[in-house]
Amino acid sequence: MNLYKHVSDAINQKLGTSVNLEIPRNRDFGDFSTNAAMVMARSAGKNPRELAAEIMPEIAALDFVADASIAGPGFINIKIKNDFLWNAAADATQIAKTDPMVIDMDYGSYNVAKSLHIGHLRTSIVGDTLNRIAKFLGHKTVSYNHIGDWGRPMGLVIAYIESLHPEWPFFASNFDASKINPADYRITAAELDTYYPAASARGKSDEVFLNHAREITADLQNGHPGYTALYNLFLKVSLDMMDDIIRKLNMMPFDKTLGEKNASQYLHVVEKMLRDKNLLHPSDGAEIVTVRRDTDAEPMPPFMFYNSRGADTYEATDLAAIWYRKTNDNPDKIWYLTDARQQLHFKQVFRVAEMLDLIPTENLEHLYFGTINGPGGVPFKTRDGNAAGLMDIIRIVGDAVRTRCTESGKNLDDETIDQIALAALKFTDLMHDVKSDYIFDPAAVTSFEGRTGPYILYTAVRLNSVLRRAGADAPAHPTTPAALMPDERGLIISILDFERTVRAAFDARSPDILAGYAYDLCQIINAFYHNCPVLRDDVDAATRANRLYIVRNAQQTLETVISLMGLSIPREM
């Protein structure tokens, strides 16, 4: 139920206008307020207050309006009927049908043989929540973990493994996959984690090594059997690490884990399309597409399809991936979630996709975000001074929750601690505007008060506990009470804003709208709880039943919001 839209549509339809409804700061004046009379007076050359007096009866006659009054220079304040609010409360999370879109969502998109770090938090958490929101609204989504698995890092890692184990058979020109037992060549996750940083450092100081790595990359891309077999060994290790993180973060599983390597199979298709349109040009041994436009104020380098060593580029594989998605999903939209540094990359890719009539640029959206730093605004590090991996961060937040619980004498089991820690981590990420940078402070985000995940969960636990204790005392749908207290009314109106909030978060691709709503809703719930006792002995049976009805609907709304954020509610906190 989208109360705002319901009221606003009815008024606009009645008056033949299209003005925005306002929500007065002070609800004593009404639940909503419209400046329709002022807008209409301007075009009709009339006095706004007089016009307000003329149209007020029309608004007052709407079936859900209890009372309308004129305020200030011509505002009309509107109070909604209790009966209407009361009955609508039961449908707070029931939403109107949406015209469904197919949305391909490219997030997570981790890299093979590279560890996951703080930079992967936003793409994972924001991506997963946007996916949940889109599905909730009825869209069909296809989530892609577009793994980075095909470029120079692969060559570097293989060259590095070769330097560690020159006796392994993968490097020989007569390599025969049928003659080896892959189990003899174990690479652990911990080992693999160290390979890329070491290889990358070596590549910076050792030209011979770097050139060898480049050759390996090109050979791997051309199907070298030994490199491919070795690659498959560490691919498996990496995929297992990704799965671990996905589970720990309570993300929905990806529909497709297909990355650059998969896309590279279709390079010849897009290459042909480019050639047919005469868009591909040789340049210093590379093959490029000019994407600059005269209107560009910023530098716009050419799109590189093959680099001067003939290797597939990141850009080219992204173009081929668009072709693949178009062919398989025919999406209305493709969303990409990466950090802000990839803006130019996506601009180039989107332009070429449009040149090939694959998909119009406005349907390709790069949702980029800023950086997360640790306290003091410096890169987030573990206690021993190393760059923190994603698993480290999850563990650090868990430890912070545990410390807090010990300090406050709470004795919670491990599962509950994990649930709270996840809420702390995710809520703080969702609450920040996607494009902004933010500071991640484990001590602050685990507080049980203020804008934190634990506060949200705590409020939900409280509601659940009231309902549990009430047991059979909670009738399904009591008749509308004669009067509603301001906190009761405020809470009902707030849950009736749920649908509008979810739609706004989707439309703006801004989960912070949902997170902000969650916090406001919790504040209102706690004020209600404070001012409107439910189970206290001095509360009469009818009042109790009514308040339990409100609590149940508030609980359902809050629970839905929490699940959209990919969180779950512990039994106790």
For ligand ARG, the closer of residues 153 and 453 by Cβ is 153
Q: What's the closest the beta carbon of residue 463 comes to ligand ARG, in angstroms?
A: 39
Q: What's the closest the beta carbon of residue 108 comes to ligand ARG, in angstroms?
A: 8
Q: What's the closest the beta carbon of residue 273 comes to ligand ARG, in angstroms?
A: 19
Number of residues that bind ligand ARG (CB under 6 A): 9
- What is the number of other CB atoms lying within 10 angstroms of the CB of residue 402? 17
For ligand ARG, the closer of residues 32 and 336 by Cβ is 336
Residue 149 binds ligand ARG (CB under 6 A): no
Q: What's the closest the beta carbon of residue 349 comes to ligand ARG, in angstroms?
A: 8
Evaluate whether 549 touches 534 at the Cβ level (below 8 Å): no
| Angle made by CA atoms 414, 241, 130, in degrees to the nearest 5 | 80
Q: What is the C-alpha to C-alpha distance for residues 129 and 70, in angstroms, rounded to an integer?
A: 42
Residue 106 binds ligand ARG (CB under 6 A): yes
Helix axes 511-531, 541-564, angle to 10 degrees: 160
Q: Is 346 left (phi over 0), alpha (psi -120 to 50) or beta?
A: alpha
Helix (H, G, I), strand (E, B) or coil at 470: helix
**Of the candidates 30, 148, 442, 454, which one interacts with ligand ARG according to CB under 6 A?**
148
For ligand ARG, the closer of residues 363 and 560 by Cβ is 363
Element (H, E) at 335: strand 333-339
- Residue 420 Cα distances to 85, 381, 412, 414, angstroms: 33, 22, 10, 10
For ligand ARG, the closer of residues 338 and 416 by Cβ is 338
Binding mask 111-140 for ligand ARG (x = CB under 6 A): x-----------------------------
Q: What's the closest the beta carbon of residue 258 comes to ligand ARG, in angstroms?
A: 10
- What is the number of other CB atoms lying within 10 angstroms of the CB of residue 61? 10
Q: How far is CA 108 from the centre of its chain?
A: 10
Tell which residue, 168, 18, 11, has the closest CA to residue 76.
Answer: 11
Tell which residue, 468, 464, 463, 444, has the closest CA to residue 454.
Answer: 444
**Of the candidates 8, 33, 77, 109, which one interacts with ligand ARG according to CB under 6 A?**
109
- Residues in the chain, total: 573
Amino acid at 431: M
For ligand ARG, the closer of residues 51 and 258 by Cβ is 258
For ligand ARG, the closer of residues 336 and 350 by Cβ is 336
Residue 146 binds ligand ARG (CB under 6 A): yes
- What is the number of other CB atoms lying within 10 angstroms of the CB of residue 336? 24
Q: Residues 316 to 345: which contact ligand ARG by CB under 6 A? A: 318, 321, 336, 338
For ligand ARG, the closer of residues 148 and 453 by Cβ is 148
Binding mask 6-45 for ligand ARG (x = CB under 6 A): ----------------------------------------
Q: What is the C-alpha to C-alpha distance for residues 506 and 521, in angstroms, rounded to an integer?
A: 19
Q: What's the closest the beta carbon of residue 318 comes to ligand ARG, in angstroms?
A: 5
Residue 348 binds ligand ARG (CB under 6 A): no
For ligand ARG, the closer of residues 148 and 566 by Cβ is 148
Determine the residue with CB nearest ligand ARG: 148
Where b means 16+ CB within 10 Å and e means fewer, 455-471 reads: bbbbbbbbbbebbeebe
Binding mask 292-321 for ligand ARG (x = CB under 6 A): --------------------------x--x
Q: Residues 201 to 260: which contact ligand ARG by CB under 6 A? A: none
Paired residues of 335 in beta bridges: 105, 365
Q: What's the closest the beta carbon of residue 271 comes to ligand ARG, in angstroms?
A: 18
Q: What's the closest the beta carbon of residue 494 comes to ligand ARG, in angstroms?
A: 37
Tell which residue, 310, 128, 147, has the closest CA to residue 215.
Answer: 310
Q: What percent of the residues of the chain are helix, what percent strand, and what percent coil, each to the nearest 5?
A: 55, 10, 30
Q: Which residues bind ligand ARG (CB under 6 A)?
A: 106, 109, 111, 146, 148, 318, 321, 336, 338
